[in-house]
Structure 1
């Protein structure tokens, strides 16, 4: 492998916002496939602009190999409204940042294959981009990059506006493409499928990890475990020093001054609390036996038929995912379940105890004239969180809005913050049915993990329409597909069965020779797979509880370090907990090997 880009002690900031990156040194080789992760606002897009030399660093140096060809997809696009698809893709209307004029273009057949893969087979090369939606324009721009040769391809959120099939196609396409790749995305499945290295942007620096999202998550947990152990030792020393200082006269003599200075240094070095978002389950109203009953329902969106003669039932505790291409009617279905619209014919009944909450894709519904706290109090001033009642300000803090952000006008929030506020307001109403339309839009990986942690323990009904494969496979027990033929199809094989059917125009996958669902290939029935996945989730929760108990015992050991009898008792409990955790983890690993992927 040959080195193509270097960042040498690079720093970058923006005025009042302060520094984003400080003293960052990185190297990029010609075969690297790197995923960039980090919180919203941490500096991921800034890092990409530095790599392309679209922006210059405040300090340090960015160097490129001579004649390096760079193609980059930024988050914001400027396309001439009178340009055609051919103009954009062939480069006369738009060129990616950093891409020189010398390049080799694919022929129209190659362009057509890329447009088909990105979910736009209906698009003519002479179609104007002006009337297109933002998602369509972005996919056309992405196609322009994929049909050209480049030594380095840099993509900022390429999976936005792609459905599950488009994301799957893009991953496979990038795996066969030569050259280096750097991609910022919040799609965890895509990171694992494509990337061999992960860069984490946090605390004004960039840390490199080998592997994709799963490997980065494991490495991060280990790093935090080591840091927690070091912090526990430091806190124990701090407690001992403070206790020693409080003994009175000895602390006021000159002889132990060095110990007083050491204790003061420890106190001054106590780190500030991290600005993290910890989502907890909200209390929900009790659901009766009936949630939604549909009989022979027809649902249209203008002249387009969405559902035809649908008979379907949603019951208490159901966790459902709806998959389909953009425009298949997923949002229209959710709007009907939310009571926003009514079916065109047939019988639709919602249970008398149903209290739905609809998370739409639109952020315009947020009250822009209000501040964050006012926007929460508009829904509820006090909310039951678990077994306690808390104020709107406390609830906002749970969702990552600290004292500094409580009085920020909603219009000044970032896209990720507004999405968090939207979810916060929705849950403040204490619903028992969640209807989620693309809930992962604009959320970083940490916020996504927190959202999934909430949904893991949600006791009500969940119906989610999402292109995020990781989310679907994490939170849904049952998957349905919409293929544009007026049907809502149950997919026992999950996302893999959806992809196979979508490639075959929605027809059922044959039992042989047609790519059977993983459930069949493993020898387990679909029902057995679902039950096994529920057991896997139970074991994961049990491991979490045991880890929490282990941490509590370690704290107690530190607090009772001089009580030898108590230490012996706690140590015996700790060994027992660790032994049980190892057994549960082994059971999880064994079961995980038996469950088919997908």
Structure 2
């Protein structure tokens, strides 16, 4: 494959730190590279050097003649005086850009809810981010360098972006470099992972799941001293292998090696113990929403919400921006009063919220971290049952990635990710029994996300999470709900079911409520008449339920077949040809099961 750009002996240092020392690497046509690493290790600096935005202190970056590099910075570079139209398509006439399928796709996918003549200076931060991303994707580039492209995007926009990048170029052409903490996005888009650490860049084949497997093996073989980091990676791998089948259906490496690494890793959570502890701390009554509705003036945000939250329940909430997620959290927390129905709260309920804003750190901005810790409770109990142990706030903060030297740093000088972790510590030490997390993954790198997840695994209380980070949401919650049309709906099929429902309901789709330009010449989905689906008859419902039972039996057989195939692959791991044949058979089996899952969801919706 042809070379696009490369770096030779890069050296970069700041007054107090050497970031890179003699780093050499290259990007070839067809490369889809995800860049991961701890906050502050140089991910954004590496991307900036490769894109020509930052001059290295030593070494050089070379770009093949004629190669066009497009960059998405974390910084906002849009001009306030421009309209959305000017920012995205400059002065191109409507017939010019509307005739380009790629540009139409970008505008529909990212800007469907923004008028084209809106002034950039009047947009929110999230809207400006989408405009900047759309402006980049509307152009023609041979290499795209994206720095945290999923920031401020919801689940649907992130899913759209992943699909767009996968189909944007023909196979084995162009190049992609992306810095992101969104692990689902890394797995979905990237075929290579670069880990930035200790002044070097270490390449791994595959997306995030494959990177975790290789990193665990690397750490085991090298007997590194970072024991906690290794254990967290092993726990992450255990979830990847035991979790959603899509992550395990295309093994690239020796299955027996993976199974050996996770053989002694216990389940992520002990639900029986956690629920028992939660009942002990909460009683049987937590928060009940009974036909709760909320309106602001003439606008009804939530209607007839029925939700009885149980002790120890771990629930993820999905919905587009503006759908009412924050209002729903407010009902649970008691900061929002329903305009219809009622909210019942148990007598012992103590709710704490990790909000998107960091107002609770304001009183401590001038204080060193150790001074903040000195004013907190002296111990915090981690773990459950026989594994429970008391930890000091300092030990807990160390578990969240703080070094002893950083304990002397004033809070105002901490990075965004460090502030986020300190904020979580303050919330946990308040000993709530109902914890609400509102976009907790902002500014946190993948290693620290794993540390947060590990901490939450042993937290014995009720957990409600709103997050656009699909990986985090699936990892820490046991069930998901969605706000659709103001109503709360359970999602047995998780995020995939939510995306399917949204795709099937364009009238309720926030991004199609207004359209910058009518590309089809007819009424938009929001303006056209809504088609009412006929109610299912009793016979249809009975037939659907029978179909569900039949499909469940077939899925059970296929799942058993998958297990046998995994076992056979482990037994014949040294026979390359045999493994390839078994892998092909496994992919076919997985495809059959996934088709049955789609049929089951369709039948379940009819039977509901």
Q: What interval of TM-score do these two structures reach, taking the shorter chain for normalisation?
A: 0.7 to 0.9
Identify the residue that residue 210 of structure 1 maps to in structure 2.
Answer: 205
Matched, 1:128 2:119: yes
Identify the residue that residue 107 of structure 2 maps to in structure 1.
Answer: 115
Q: Residue 361 of structure 2: SS of its match in structure 1? A: coil
Identify the residue that residue 366 of structure 2 maps to in structure 1.
Answer: 369
Report the Cα distance in structure 1 between the residues aligned to 2:15 and 2:167, rounded to whole angstroms: 41
CA contact (8 A) 1:20 1:204 kept: yes
Q: Residue 447 of structure 1: SS of its match in structure 2? A: helix
From the superposition, tell whether residues 453 and 384 of structure 1 become closer, same or farther in structure 2 (CA, over 3 Å).
Answer: closer
From the superposition, tell whether residues 320 and 510 of structure 1 become closer, same or farther in structure 2 (CA, over 3 Å).
Answer: farther
Matched, 1:294 2:289: yes
Matched, 1:401 2:402: yes
From the superposition, tell whether residues 502 and 429 of structure 1 become closer, same or farther in structure 2 (CA, over 3 Å).
Answer: same
Identify the residue that residue 501 of structure 1 maps to in structure 2.
Answer: 501
CA contact (8 A) 1:70 1:151 kept: yes
From the superposition, tell whether residues 230 and 360 of structure 1 become closer, same or farther in structure 2 (CA, over 3 Å).
Answer: closer
Give aligned pairs, total: 475
From the superposition, tell whether residues 231 and 215 of structure 1 become closer, same or farther in structure 2 (CA, over 3 Å).
Answer: closer
Report the Cα distance in structure 1 between the residues aligned to 2:226 and 2:292, rounded to whole angstroms: 59
From the superposition, tell whether residues 444 and 520 of structure 1 become closer, same or farther in structure 2 (CA, over 3 Å).
Answer: farther
Matched, 1:177 2:187: no
Report the Cα distance in structure 2 between the residues aligned to 1:57 and 1:332, rounded to whole angstroms: 47
CA contact (8 A) 2:302 2:486 kept: yes
Matched, 1:87 2:86: yes
Identify the residue that residue 128 of structure 2 maps to in structure 1.
Answer: 137
Displacement of 1:83 in angstroms is: 0.6
Matched, 1:353 2:352: no
Identify the residue that residue 459 of structure 1 maps to in structure 2.
Answer: 460
From the superposition, tell whether residues 489 and 280 of structure 1 become closer, same or farther in structure 2 (CA, over 3 Å).
Answer: closer
Query: What is the RMSD computed on CA atoms of the aligned residues?
Result: 3.5
Identify the residue that residue 4 of structure 1 maps to in structure 2.
Answer: 4
CA contact (8 A) 1:115 1:140 kept: no
Q: Provide TM-score, normalisation by structure 2.
A: 0.72
Q: Residue 35 of structure 2: SS of its match in structure 1? A: strand
Q: Residue 455 of structure 2: SS of its match in structure 1? A: helix
Identify the residue that residue 200 of structure 1 maps to in structure 2.
Answer: 195
Q: Residue 160 of structure 2: SS of its match in structure 1? A: helix
Matched, 1:224 2:219: yes
**Unmatched 5+ residue regions in structure 1?**
94-103, 233-278, 537-588
**Unmatched 5+ residue regions in structure 2?**
228-267, 509-531, 564-585, 599-608
State the Cα deviation string for residues 366-417 of structure 1 (Å, max 9, x = none).
1323322333444434433444444333332232222211121111111110
Aligned pairs for 1:92-491 (under 5 A) are 107=99, 110-118=102-110, 120-178=111-169, 179-228=174-223, 286-301=281-296, 303-367=298-362, 368-386=365-383, 387-483=388-484, 485-491=485-491
- With 372-381 and 333-342 compared, the bigger mean Cα shift is at 372-381
Matched, 1:21 2:11: no
Higher relative contact order (CA 8 A, sep 6+): 2
Report the Cα distance in structure 2 between the residues aligned to 1:220 and 1:509, rounded to whole angstroms: 53
Larger Rg: 1
State the Cα deviation string for residues 435-474 of structure 1 (Å, max 9, x = none).
1111111111011111222233332211111111112222
Report the Cα distance in structure 2 between the residues aligned to 1:350 and 1:414, rounded to whole angstroms: 37
CA contact (8 A) 1:280 1:385 kept: no
- With 367-376 and 46-55 compared, the bigger mean Cα shift is at 367-376
Aligned pairs for 1:24-43 (under 5 A) are 24-43=23-42
Q: Provide TM-score, normalisation by structure 1.
A: 0.73
Report the Cα distance in structure 2 between the residues aligned to 1:496 and 1:177, rounded to whole angstroms: 22
CA contact (8 A) 1:376 1:424 kept: no
